[in-house]
Structure 1
Amino acid sequence: MKYYILFLLILISAQSYAQEQFTVYFDSNKFELNPKENTKFTAWILENTKNKIVAVHGFTDEDGTNGFNDTLAGKRVDFIFNAVKNQIKIREDYKSRSFGESFEQSDNKADNRRVIIYYILEKDLARENEILGIKKEIVEKKPKSVIVYPEKLVFENPNGTKSEFKLDTAFMKKIGEAEAGEKLKIENLNFVINTFAVVNESRGKMYELLLVLQKNPDLKIEIQGHLCCMPVDRTDLSTQRAKAIYNFLVHNEIQKERLSYKGFGSSQPIFALPEKDEQERAANRRVEILIVEN
């Protein structure tokens, strides 16, 4: 997910939004804390284990060369970071800055030899990006091009005869435009009783699904099989039926990475078992397509 920074120096200002800050001070030319400051720092760590650090900035006084002070400020930042990295949560895009002596110096040199830790309290973490002035980049989703599906398919059989399948273009369009998480039932997809063989009259339904996948290369689906009547799917028939559709699609060069299958037996009936009539049994005995990605 992409983000952009609205305010470049948001982490520097102590007044920025609801950020908190904690400061420790160093002895001259030192990048480790003296016992007094270390005790204060350790106590702060113990009190803030559920908060989150967003930045650490290091400073020095003006004694010494610019290069020496820049290095010293960096070492002070590293010392603090190493002390807290396994104790307190740190933002993934954590920012450290070593100012050295390049800032407005206080007349009191001891005040300049410091590291400031910027952090967010646990109670404010839900507003973390808002506090930091970070907003999600709004990416407009480009509309899909209109796909025209054929109304029928004609095949020439090995014996020279022809088979024609009328296709449900409305159903194919519905699958092609479905959002991730949607589930659609394949109507009139029937199997030979107690087998996973699709009856000839239903072969067109498999070609409908094949055509949709061919014309929508980003589409990923899970094929889900369901049974009626039997509380226990002893032969795992629901999985075998889902796999039969999966195998048909793979055989017709749909990448395996775009497909998965699963059998649920009678664990997710539309109508409670035992069903009252054939209409309820037919509703429970179904194959559904779960849109995984589109």
Structure 2
Amino acid sequence: MLRFLLYCLLTTSFSFSQAKFTVYFDTDSYQLNSSELNRLDGFLKNKELKFNKVIGYCDYRASNGYNDTLASNRAKFVIGIIEKVTNQKQIEIDSKGENFEQNSDLKLNRKVEIFYEELQIEKTLPKDDKKDLSQQVSTAKVGDKLVLKNLHFYNRSGIFVPESRPILQELLQIMKNNPNLKIEIQGHICCQIGTDIEETAKVRALAVYNFLIENGINKNRLSYKSFGSSRPIHIIPENNEDERNENRRVEIQIIAN
């Protein structure tokens, strides 16, 4: 058992290996010059990325305290750009100041490192249903569950892809049009029996929950829950990709209407 757990930890760590992108700063500046801004902008726009951590650095000149502050401000400046361009939040931030192995070429020490993963699009595809979500909600009873059709996420994450915007906006408008409506947002995954180690189902349900709250829906009307792979539509292991897509879903359950 111990060997198996160690193997799982090692393979999990490997599968989440990160890539790194570095931007460089002028002396005594926490803002990027136009050349580095353009390079960062091109990097952010040409890939589908999940950002995990940003670390700021300085060369050894000036005092240690000053360099700590400058490195921290560099990291904050870069995170501000990432959040604006990608709408990703809660990225881990760190600052090394001058406390790292310095390069003899000082300009290479004035930097921010961005750690990220390139994401593959994973889609949640429901069973064919000609009724849109508004029509389904209008005829639903307390206890009914409805799949959020065309709700797409990047692989192994709770980050919506742009194609998810219509169904999110439709759900938001439904909540606004029906002030007595209360729902539980339920996340499900496919393919594996047992614990949802990465809590993907929970993260995705929470993403919908947060979207609604951020757009003015009272949290007293909402709850969220993860069922992992415990309530599949099709028996696991699934027979094909269609069955996997139907098991991998986010649903809403009508709590009150």
TM-score (normalizing by structure 2) = 0.48
Higher Cα Rg, which structure: 1
Structure with more helix by fraction: 2
